[in-house]
Amino acid sequence: MPDHPSLKNFLQQAEACDELGSPFTAALCRLLAHTVDDGSAFGRRIVNWPDTARADAMPLRVCGALHALARSGTEPVLTAQYPPHRFDREALRTAIKGAITRHDQFLCDYLDSPPQTNEVARSAIILGGMLIVAREMDMPLEILEIGSSAGLNLMFDSYSYDLGNSRHWGRTDAPLTIACDWRGEIPALDVPLTVRSRAGCDQNPLDPRSERTVERLLSYVWADQFARMERLTAAFGHAARTGLTVKKADAADWLETRLARPQATGITRVLFHTIVWQYLPKPVQGRAAAAIAGAAMAATAERPFAHLAYEGDNERPGGAVRLTLWPGGESRFLGRADFHGRWVEWN
């Protein structure tokens, strides 16, 4: 077993990588659990990480740092052990140790920021919820997102979707097509869905026009999951062309201001977020929940409000999709979905 308690987080992450179809990253995490020590600045940060390592996604920060270095080409020995190349466990261990020796400060500094994967395939989950809102409210939508990163999921209606069994949604000339194994009931795909406006916030918004930004997000995609990288690259290209920007703001501050703005008659305001809530500090969660409650109380039949959330709930598999509509406040469990959007099990 790993000598330092923080290193056990790599073993837990390895199990998640196995479930999510990344054997390379699972093997890398298990190797790191028995390789990292306090002989470098990089290693000292890892082994001395506080008990927030899981909430901070520390193992994914580490994997992202090494993947970034492997992708850069500045450490050829490490690159040669990364997909699409086949790797050897001991050769990878040696490559990692050499990379830490030669690039200690780069790797250490890379741990400063949490991973921002902006998983585009989660847009299929968002689409399912938005179709229900559009059907029941029969109005155009004003959509708001917290934890938007680069805003790629804010543009969910720009993509096309292959939902299995010859079920499709979206334009034939969409910038990318998202394939999702949709199980169970499916919302009516012919419902008119019009997004009248869209806005999002993030503590660290990313510019899709920046090559450095794109490269950083690609580093957080697991190295053997090429389809995810292709989707992300295509979505970034589309976002760069549209000029969509995400507001730099604390989630609670932004919600308190944004939800207090006058809402147009005949428009449904929809707040959504995907795997964000767990990363918000407790005081921020409390203020955000209070802002949502205030918007719910103000909702009317002419100015409805909806809250669509896809978040982890410590259950398996995947995470839970929930939707609440006001007025009325009916809260629904819509189903479960894969964290990478590979499948949806609709309730």
280-294: pLDDT as tens digits? 999 999 999 999 999
- pLDDT value of position 118: 76
| Topology, domain 120-210+219-346 | Rossmann fold (3.40.50)
Q: List the beta strands (DSSP E) in 7-131.
A: none
- pLDDT value of position 113: 87
Start-end ranges of CATH 3.40.50 in the chain? 120-210+219-346
- Distances from the Cα of 234 to the Cαs of 184, 214, 230, in angstroms? 29, 11, 6
Question: The tokens of 67 are what?
Answer: 């993947």
* Cβ atoms of 133 and 141 closer than 8 Å: yes
- pLDDT value of position 80: 97
Question: For the segment 61-77, what is each residue's pLDDT rounded down to a tens digit?
Answer: 999 999 999 999 999 99
- Distances from the Cα of 14 to the Cαs of 146, 219, 321, in angstroms? 28, 17, 25
* Residue 66: burial class (beta carbons within 10 Å; 0-12, 13-18, 19+): buried
pLDDT above 60: residue 226: yes
Please state, rounded to an integer, the average pLDDT across all residues of the chain. 95
Residue 162: beta bridge partners? 168, 179
pLDDT above 80: residue 117: no
SS (H, E, C) 297-337: HHCCCCCCEEEEEEECCCCCCCEEEEEEEECCCEEEEEEEE
Question: For the segment 187-223, what is each residue's pLDDT rounded down to a tens digit?
Answer: 999 999 999 999 999 998 989 899 998 999 999 999 9
Quickly state the pLDDT bin for 55 (edges 50, 70, 90).
Answer: confident
| CA-wise closest residue to 288 among 256, 313, 262 | 256
* Residue 79: burial class (beta carbons within 10 Å; 0-12, 13-18, 19+): middle
Percent of the chain with pLDDT over 90: 88
Structural element, H or E, at residue 178: strand 177-179
Please give the average per-residue pLDDT across 105-109, as a whole number: 98
Question: For the segment 149-183, what is each residue's pLDDT rounded down to a tens digit?
Answer: 899 999 999 999 999 999 999 999 999 999 999 99
- pLDDT value of position 330: 87
Question: The tokens of 160 are what?
Answer: 């096309």
Please give the average per-residue pLDDT across 254-265, as a whole number: 98
* Cβ atoms of 152 and 122 closer than 8 Å: no
Q: Which residues contact 172 (CB under 8 A, 6 or more apart)?
A: 160
- pLDDT value of position 278: 87
pLDDT above 70: residue 1: no
| CA-wise closest residue to 246 among 277, 213, 279, 207 | 207
- pLDDT value of position 116: 77
- pLDDT value of position 206: 87
